[in-house]
């Protein structure tokens, strides 16, 4: 069910946020092969190279035709971020159906191990490389290293919700990794759309007890149309435009407490105001509070409960739609929204607000379309933000 106003979007733009990027590209197999190289650069900490691949891949995702030798040498070669190196790899792909560099990477033990390690929440590329350097190769070896018993969720691993934990604290990160390892057989299973919706419904029932008059939108990959999600991301606000800001304050923590009491939230990996990353913290509405949790629905008829990662984000009404746009992603779409705002409009965009750079004037969009209007962009439907 894609919208029809595609003609206003241009696949030749340098910015992801001005292109239509469907979930499945016309050149999806090529995209998948290039993505192996991109992930390798990321795992090796080569962020600049990774970003180059991310940009080139995003351009290919939005190209509306199957790439062949004729259009490769024609308009594809002229697309932004498609340089000589990318051109050669695409040419090799068209001629052989393969990209040798990509196949070589996929076959290495290092790529396989680092990929597996980073599926665990809390293990980033840096930690993954350190573990690999210690001689560890498999997730089973990681379990032994971290002394985690598979499938056991020890009470001790539950975080104390009241503890004012510091982010990036070593002990907290190790705790997160242990939870991720113990629950990995559940957490690596993807979540179908109807379960995502059920999780939202259950959470809203409890939120209504804690604070009446709230609303929420499921964001992340679900909103971009993914049939299966890796986690659930929900943005909440209060319906009252003038008083909602006060009503949302502290609500994240109160809701998480209730969900924990109800044994729906079993672990909290991160709980915070958004201020630590927020340059606009002097304003009252900067309270983008969030909780990264492990959540489990009540047992169904077969008695099976699968642990899921659920991210809860709270925004004051004035920044609800900027939060929805920011958290709907994709990561590259969001990145280019920020870049577009800065380079083309003299504005600052992030999930917690839109402002004008020269006088810090704040914008409070009343709809998602208004977010795009304030930034001088054509509206892009969420299902076309898969850059």
Residue ranges that bind ligand TTP, judged by CB under 6 A: 220-221, 226, 229-231, 233, 327, 329-331, 334
Q: Give the three-state DSSP class for 98.
A: coil
Shortest approach of Mn ion to residue 60 CB, angstroms? 23
| Number of shown-chain residues binding Mn ion (CB under 5 A) | 6
In the complex with Mn ion, the residue whose CB is nearer, 231 or 350, is: 231
* Residue 311 engages Mn ion in binding (rule: CB under 5 A): yes
CA–CA distance, 307 with 378 (Å, rounded to integer): 39
Binder of residue 350, out of Mn ion, ligand TTP, none (CB less than 5 to 8 A by kind) = none
Shortest approach of Mn ion to residue 220 CB, angstroms? 3
In the complex with ligand TTP, the residue whose CB is nearer, 93 or 236, is: 236
Shortest approach of ligand TTP to residue 326 CB, angstroms? 6
Residue nearest to Mn ion (CB): 220
Would residue 152 be called left, alpha or beta, if left means φ above 0 and alpha means ψ between -120 and 50 degrees?
A: beta
Among residues 298, 292, 95, 25, which one has the least CA distance to residue 180?
292
* Residue 231 engages Mn ion in binding (rule: CB under 5 A): yes
Residue 169's Cβ-side half-sphere holds a number of Cα atoms within 13 Å equal to: 10
* Residue 289 engages Mn ion in binding (rule: CB under 5 A): no
In the complex with Mn ion, the residue whose CB is nearer, 228 or 360, is: 228
Shortest approach of Mn ion to residue 191 CB, angstroms? 9
Shortest approach of ligand TTP to residue 370 CB, angstroms? 20
Spell out the alpha helix ranges (H) of 108-150: 109-117, 125-133, 139-145
* Residue 233 engages Mn ion in binding (rule: CB under 5 A): yes
Shortest approach of ligand TTP to residue 108 CB, angstroms? 24
* Residue 350 engages Mn ion in binding (rule: CB under 5 A): no
Among residues 310, 339, 354, which one has the least CA distance to residue 219?
310
In the complex with ligand TTP, the residue whose CB is nearer, 233 or 318, is: 233
CA–CA distance, 329 with 221 (Å, rounded to integer): 7
CA–CA distance, 221 with 385 (Å, rounded to integer): 10
Q: Return the residues of window 167-226 that contact Mn ion according to CB under 5 A.
A: 167, 220-221
| Residue 212 host element (H or E) | none
Binder of residue 327, out of Mn ion, ligand TTP, none (CB less than 5 to 8 A by kind) = ligand TTP
In the complex with ligand TTP, the residue whose CB is nearer, 86 or 326, is: 326
Binder of residue 167, out of ligand TTP, Mn ion, none (CB less than 5 to 8 A by kind) = Mn ion
The 131-170 site mask, x for binding Mn ion (CB under 5 A), equals ------------------------------------x---
Binder of residue 287, out of ligand TTP, Mn ion, none (CB less than 5 to 8 A by kind) = none
Q: Which stretch binds Mn ion (CB under 5 A): 44-52, 87-95, 310-318, 371-379?
A: 310-318
* Residue 336 engages Mn ion in binding (rule: CB under 5 A): no
Residue nearest to ligand TTP (CB): 329
Spell out the alpha helix ranges (H) of the chain: 28-43, 47-62, 69-71, 77-78, 84-96, 100-107, 109-117, 125-133, 139-145, 170-182, 184-187, 193-210, 220-223, 244-248, 251-261, 320-328, 331-345, 368-374
Q: Give the three-state DSSP class for 25.
A: coil
Residue by residue, DSSP assigns 232-267 as EEEEEEES-TTTHHHHHTTHHHHHHHHHHHTTSEEE
In the complex with Mn ion, the residue whose CB is nearer, 12 or 190, is: 190
Phi, psi of 33 (to 5 degrees): -70, -40
Task: Report whether 216 contacts 234 (CB < 8 A).
Answer: yes
Shortest approach of ligand TTP to residue 226 CB, angstroms? 6
What torsion do the CA atoms of 356, 362, 366, 369 make, to the nearest 10 degrees? 10
CA–CA distance, 339 with 257 (Å, rounded to integer): 37
List residues near Mn ion by CB under 5 A.
167, 220-221, 231, 233, 311
């Amino acid at each position: 069910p894609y919208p029809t106003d595609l003609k206003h979007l241009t696949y030749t733009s340098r910015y992801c946020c001005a292109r239509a990027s469907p979930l499945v590209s016309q050149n999806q197999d090529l995209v998948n092969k290039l993505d192996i190289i991109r992930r390798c650069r990321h795992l090796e900490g080569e962020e600049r190279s990774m970003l180059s691949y991310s940009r080139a891949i995003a351009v290919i995702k939005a190209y509306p035709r199957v790439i062949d030798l004729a259009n490769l040498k024609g308009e594809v070669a002229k697309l932004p971020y498609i340089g000589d190196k990318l051109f050669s790899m695409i040419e090799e792909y068209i001629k052989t159906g393969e990209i040798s560099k990509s196949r070589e990477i996929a076959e290495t033990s290092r790529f396989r191990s680092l990929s597996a390690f980073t599926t665990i929440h809390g293990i980033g590329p840096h930690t993954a490389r350190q573990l690999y350097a210690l001689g560890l190769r498999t997730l089973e070896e990681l379990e032994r290293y971290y002394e985690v018993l598979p499938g056991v969720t020890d009470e001790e691993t539950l975080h104390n919700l009241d503890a004012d934990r510091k982010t990036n604290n070593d002990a907290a990160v190790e705790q997160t990794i242990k939870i991720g390892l113990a629950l990995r057989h559940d957490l690596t299973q993807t979540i179908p759309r109807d379960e995502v919706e059920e999780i939202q419904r259950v959470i809203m029932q409890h939120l209504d007890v804690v604070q009446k008059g709230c609303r929420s939108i499921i964001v992340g990959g679900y909103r971009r149309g993914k049939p299966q999600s890796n986690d659930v991301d929900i943005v909440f606000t209060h319906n009252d435009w003038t008083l909602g800001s006060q009503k949302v304050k502290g609500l994240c923590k109160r809701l998480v407490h209730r969900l924990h009491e109800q044994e729906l939230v079993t672990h909290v990996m991160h709980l915070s105001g958004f201020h630590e990353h927020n340059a606009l913290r002097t304003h009252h509405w900067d309270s983008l509070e969030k909780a990264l949790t492990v959540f489990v629905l009540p047992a169904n008829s077969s008695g099976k409960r699968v642990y899921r990662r659920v991210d809860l984000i709270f925004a004051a009404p004035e920044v609800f739609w900027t939060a929805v746009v920011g958290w709907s992603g994709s990561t590259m779409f969001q990145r280019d929204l920020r870049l577009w705002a800065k380079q083309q409009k003299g504005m600052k965009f992030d999930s917690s607000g839109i402002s004008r750079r020269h006088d810090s004037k704040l914008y409070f969009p009343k709809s998602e379309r208004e977010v795009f209007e304030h930034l001088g962009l054509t509206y892009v439907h969420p299902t076309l933000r898969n850059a």
